[in-house]
Amino acid sequence: INVISPTWFYLNDNNGNIASLASSDYVNYCHQKGIEVWALVSNLENKDVDTTSVLTYTSKRENLINNLISAAIQYNFDGINVDFEALSSEVGDSYIQFIRELSLKCANNGIVLSVDDYVPSSFTAFYNRAEQATFAVYVVVMAYDEHYAGSPEAGSVASLSWVTQGVSDTLKEVPADQVILGMPFYTRVWEIPSESSSDDTAAGAKIPSKIYGMKAANDFLATHGATKTWQDDCGQNYSEFTDNDTTYKVWLEDSASAECRLKLVEEKKLAGASFWKLGFETSDIWDTVTRYIH
């Protein structure tokens, strides 16, 4: 690990003020270990905040940016990572203007700016990754949540074909040396009741699932004596079993699935890899990462 990005700031009102969990001791410890700290700012924690309002008004954007730069100077962290999700298309231009304005302040203060993005789709085109790349140092592809809580069907959180397509689409807008591939340290265990159809759906019902870290998922399978098999198409080990009229399906995240994606980083000459989130992984994952990321 040479960078860690703690979720330290989030929008806390409609005027661009932020809540902070920042820690000087944390930054100092990381710096002693040769690790940079890119503090993450999110718009998800306070549900009462209207992100559109904050981004649309110049004065509110300026307040938000000044708050972030002031914190960066106060706590001596090395970068800012912007993780603004679930935006509406109407705020696309204002969001890009925010990235422009923040990038100038970051550059003037020696702060690395990175921006988190969904895998490209028609619904997220307004995030304008090409314009982001003009101003931000790195664009991070959150290549996970292919299947998510509330999905109408069970499936992988990051199948290899889906990730590969996401990288290819991102590279149409962003130079490879600015792209960081985000990978999951978690998976979902899907719980399909017996009354559901063989197609995983029953009258459009959502399939229940729970998030498990790598070790927890393995422990869960071991407890049930379940076996797993490798699936080339998704680049993952897969397990399925039935217990008490419920069928469980899980597309595992492990060193083998990570290696498939790390090979993609190497092949496409991307800037690097990132992982969500620290603590969900098994220790052997770092041996695999080290083989590909130097």
Q: What would the pLDDT profile of 188-205 be if each residue is shown by its tens digit?
A: 999 999 875 455 444 567
- Condensed to tens digits (0 to 9), the pLDDT of residues 207-246 reads 999 999 999 999 999 999 999 999 999 999 999 999 999 9
User: Rounded to whole angstroms, how far apart are CA atoms 138 and 177?
Assistant: 8
For residue 38, is pLDDT > 80?
yes
Closest CA to 39 of 14, 61, 64, 71: 71
- The pLDDT value recorded for residue 206 is 84
- Residue 206 contacts by C-beta under 8 Å, 6 or more apart in sequence? 150, 151, 152
Cα separation, 108 vs 253, in Å, equals 40
pLDDT of residue 196: 55
Amino acid at the residue 34: G
Q: How many CA atoms lie within 13 A of 270 on its CB side?
A: 28
Please tell me the pTM assigned to this model. 0.95
List, for residues 147-172, the tens digit of each pLDDT value: 999 898 999 999 999 999 999 999 99
Strands (E), 29-151: 36-42, 79-83, 112-118, 138-142
> Which pLDDT score, from 0 to 100, does residue 83 have?
98
